[in-house]
Amino acid sequence: MRISMQQAADMLLKNDNILILAHASPDGDTLGSSYALCQALQILGKNARVQCQDEIPDCYRFIVDGVKEMEFEPEFYVTVDVAALELLGTPEYYNELRGKINLSIDHHVTNTGYADFTCIEDGDIAAAAAETVLQIIRMMETPIDREIAEGIYVGLATDTGCFRYANTTSRTMRMAADMIDCKIDLKFINKTIFETRTKTYHALETMALHEMSITDDGEIAILVVTREMFEKSGSKESEFHPLKSIPRQIEGVKVGITMRESDKDTYRVAIRTNDGINASHIAAHFGGGGHPGAAGCTVHGKAKDITDEFIRVIREEMVRQGK
């Protein structure tokens, strides 16, 4: 059932022992928004904590460290920035949570409605889940401290490509300015997230780029990152995120695909597009979803078969969309 932000705020105020769930392969929006909401609830005297099946990337560790870890038996389950139950992690993990999710706070038009109640802002105009979460926090009348502001800013900045993507609005910028006014360490945050990479990441990137393929017409680029590459480079899987945008950055590429081998014959796929091609429509063919410019899915099979199928689906979508 779809509900308003005020209804979501009222629901959170009426409940306690709240478990907030972030999606697997966590990015800055799911983490920043989740921990900001968690801090807000703790300020209000509630038991709240964040849970994510996957490892938290080092570049976001400062968000986690600023919020108190609480132990309790969950009574109310909330997902943040999770468009589908399957995005929470492995089948074993998300099937344990099936039927338990009370509230989904999201900004994806492709949200599958897996929760009892779903809060997506009217008009689906939020550039990041952080925009919706901030408004809910304000509706709960929670004072915004530095920890909340840092989480919200990270969510806004990462889901807009540091305010470069087309989803950035004047409201996004005003919200970011409000968070900066809360005395967050802007220089540290931007340098840590956008400008700092480990040596092991650079080794992983070199291997992945060496194996990247581009179609003859230069319109589709596919980058596959295998478990062997992680082992050889010494890189953590949590360092994968920056690779998602690389194929799309190549001149002339309309659709960039980045595939990460998460298990044998299982790949988590990130789709990034240019020229108005709808990435969520491509992802939908594989049971995934997302936004017009960025989407994702999980696919099973051999890498070559998967890439061939993606190229076929992308070609069909480009024709269908007149691109």
Label each residue of the chain as H, E or C: CEECHHHHHHHHHHCCCEEEECCCCCCHHHHHHHHHHHHHHHHCCCCEEEECCCCCCHHHHHHHHCCCCCCCCCCEEEEECCCCHHHHCCHHHHHHHCCCEEEEEECCCCCCCCCCEEEECCCCCCCCHHHHHHHHHHHCCCCCCHHHHHHHHHHHHHHCCCCCCCCCCHHHHHHHHHHHCCCCCHHHHHHHHHHCCCHHHHHHHHHHHHHCEECCCCCEEEEEECHHHHHHHCCCHHHCHHHHHCHHHCCCCCEEEEEEEEECCEEEEEEEECCCCCHHHHHHCCCCEECCCEEEEEEECCHHHHHHHHHHHHHHHHHHCCC
Judge contact between 9 and 40, C-beta under 8 A.
Answer: no
Separation CA 270–CA 172 (nearest Å): 24
Taking residue 16's Cβ as centre, other Cβ atoms within 10 Å add up to: 15
Which of 214, 229, 186, 233 is CA-nearest to residue 314?
Answer: 214
The two tokens of residue 10 are 């009222």
**What is the sign, positive or negative, of the torsion defined by CA atoms of 80, 82, 87, 92?**
positive
- What per-residue confidence (pLDDT) applies to 20? 98
Of 4, 23, 28, 19, whose CA–CA distance to 289 is shortest? 23
How far from the centroid of its chain's Cα atoms is residue 16's Cα?
A: 26
Domain annotation for the chain: domains and CATH numbers: 2-194 (3.90.1640.10), 199-320 (3.10.310.30)
The Cα angle at residue 135 between residues 129 and 139, in degrees rounded to 5: 140
The C-alpha atoms of residue 153 and residue 144 are separated, in whole angstroms, by 12
Task: Please report, in tens digits, the pLDDT of each residue of the chain (323 residues total).
Answer: 999 999 999 999 999 999 999 999 899 999 999 999 999 999 999 999 999 999 899 999 999 988 999 999 999 999 999 999 999 998 999 999 999 999 999 999 889 999 999 999 876 689 999 999 999 999 999 999 999 999 999 999 999 999 998 889 999 999 999 999 999 999 999 999 999 999 999 999 999 999 999 999 999 999 999 999 999 999 988 888 889 999 999 999 999 999 999 888 899 999 999 988 999 999 999 988 888 888 888 899 999 999 999 999 999 999 988 87
**Residue in the block written with tokens 């969309």:** 321
Please state, in angstroms and as integers, the Cα–Cα distance from residue 220 to each residue in 247, 293, 305, 316, following that order: 8, 14, 16, 13
- Pairing type for strands 294-300 and 266-273 reads antiparallel
What's residue 123's pLDDT?
Answer: 62
Longest dimension (CA), the chain: 59
Tracing tokens 């990337």 back to the chain, one arrives at: 57
Burial of 310 (0-12, 13-18, 19+ CB in 10 A): buried
Q: CB–CB of 77/97 below 8 Å?
A: yes
Residue 109's pLDDT is what? 84
Q: How far apart are CA 58 and CA 63, in angstroms?
A: 10
